[in-house]
Amino acid sequence: MSMKRTFAPLIALVALAMVISCATRDVARGSGQTAQFVLEGVSGLTRIAQLTGKDSINKTARYGVYGADLGSMFRSGNRTYFVFGDTFGKRSPYWTGAGGEDWRSNTIAYSRNTDPADGITFDGWITDQQGVAKELIHSKKVDDDEITVIPTYGVAVGNAMYLFYMSVKHWGAPGRWTCNYSGVARSTDGGQTWTKLASPRWPGDSNFVQVSIFQQDRELLMWSIPAGRFGGVRLMKVRGADIERANQYRYFAGIRDGRPQWSHDFTDAALVVKPPVGELSVMWNDYLHRWIMTYLNEETHNLEIREGLAPWGPWGQAKTLVSAQRYPGLYGAFMLPQYTENHGRTVYFTMSQWGPYNVFWMRADLVRAHDSP
C-alpha cells in the first residue's frame, strides 16, 4: 500500500494550513468576495468493511471485542487511534444493541494502515496483561450516579495524548441522556494509562459535553454539543500548549464588524449550527475548499453533512450522507483528514449501527455544484 495516497509531504501540509487560514480570515473579515455554498450532496456511498466484532476484517473477538461503537479517530506519530465507547465481550449473535460479557466503558485500537480503500486493518489494541482490550478511563457503572464514561474525541499534543470524555449519569429515552460533566484525560505512555484531569471540565448541562477537534496550526478548534442528540453546535478554541489550562479556552461569541468575537466565558458562546446534532465530526476539505461537518440528525435518523465557510459558519443546508432506510440504527459518522482521496473528493469515515452494535468503514464522494450534470 502506498503512503502517497493519504499523506502529503511537509510542504503540502504547510500550504494547506495557509489555505485554511486565508480562507477563514477572508470570510471572517468580509473580504468583499461573495462566498457561495458548493456542496450538492454525495454519491457512490459504499459500506466497505466491518471494523469491529467477531466477523470483522480485524477479527476483534481475539481482543475480547465482540461489540463496540463510535470509533472517532486521531493521529499520534505514525499511528491512527480509533476510540470506541461501551465495549462488550462475548455476546449472542442474536443480540440487538449494546450488551454482552466483560463491559468496558471505552477502548482504543490503533493502526498504521494508510490506504483506506479496502478498509482499515488494526495493528492492535491497548490491552491488559491477558491481551484483552482494556478500559482506559474508569467509570463507576452505577445508574443515576455514573453509568459510563464515553470518550468523544482525541488529540495528540507534544508527547501527550488527550481524550475529551463525558461522564454519563443516566441513559434516557432514545437520543437523550444526562451527564455529570465533561472533561479531559491525559496519557503520556502511548495510551497505556490515562489520568482524568481535574481541569478543564464543563458542566453536564452545558453545550460543551461532546466535541469534535481539528488541529489548525498551533490551535485546536472544537465544535461541541450538549449531552444527547438534540442540541445545537457551539465553538471553542485553545492553543495546543494550553490544552490543560481552563482559563485559556475561548468561546466564539458571534460576529461584530465582520470579525469573530471570542470570550473566556462559555456561557457567552453563540450557536453556529441549529439543532438537532448528534455525534459530530468536523474537518477542512480541500476539494470543496470548505469545512465539512458530519453528524446524526435524530429527527430524520439520517447521517447528514454540511459545509461551512468558516469554523463558525455560515453553515449550508444539511445534505443526507447516509440514509437510515438503507442502514437502520446508524449513528456516529467520524472523519479524519488523512483518510481522503482524490484531493478530498472521496471521504472515508466510521459509522456505527445499533442492531449489530459494531463499527463499519464507509466511503462517499462529495458532489460540487459545478460537478452536477
Per-residue pLDDT of 17-73, as tens digits, reads 444 444 444 343 333 335 799 999 999 999 999 999 999 999 999 999 999 999 999
Tell me if 127 sits within 8 A of 63, measured CB to CB: yes
Virtual torsion, Cα 336, 338, 342, 345, nearest 10 deg: 20
Total of domains in the chain: 1
What distance in Å separates the CA atoms of residue 86 and residue 84, rounded to the nearest whole number?
7
Q: What pLDDT does 10 receive?
A: 37
Residue 279, Ramachandran bin (φ over 0: left; ψ between -120 and 50: alpha; else beta): left
pLDDT at position 8, please? 38
Please write the tens of the pLDDT for every residue from 99-132: 999 999 999 999 999 999 999 999 999 999 999 9
Q: 161 phi and psi, to 5 degrees?
A: -115, 145
Residue 6 has pLDDT above 50, yes or no: no
Average confidence (pLDDT) over 344-367:
98
DSSP 279-292: EEEEEEETTTTEEE
Q: What is the CATH number of the domain that holds 259?
A: 2.115.10
pLDDT in tens, 131-184: 999 999 999 999 999 999 999 999 999 999 999 999 999 999 999 999 999 999
State which residues form the domain around 198: 3-371
Q: Give the CA dihedral 307, 313, 314, 316, nearest 10 degrees.
A: 20
Q: What does residue 15 show for φ and ψ, rounded to 5 degrees? A: -60, -40
Q: Using one digit for the tens of pLDDT, what is the confidence trace for 222-261?
A: 999 999 999 999 999 999 999 999 999 999 999 999 999 9
Residue 9 scores a pLDDT above 80: no
Cell numbers of 279, please? 455525534
- Beta strands (DSSP E) in 257-329 are 259-263, 273-285, 290-297, 302-308, 319-322
Cα(211)–Cα(322) distance, integer angstroms: 21
Q: Grade residue 2 by pLDDT with cuts at 50, 70 and 90.
A: very low
Helix, strand, coil: what percent of the chain each, to 5? 10, 50, 40
CB atoms within 10 A of CB 101: 10
Mean pLDDT rounded to a whole number for the chain: 92
What was the pLDDT predicted at 277?
98
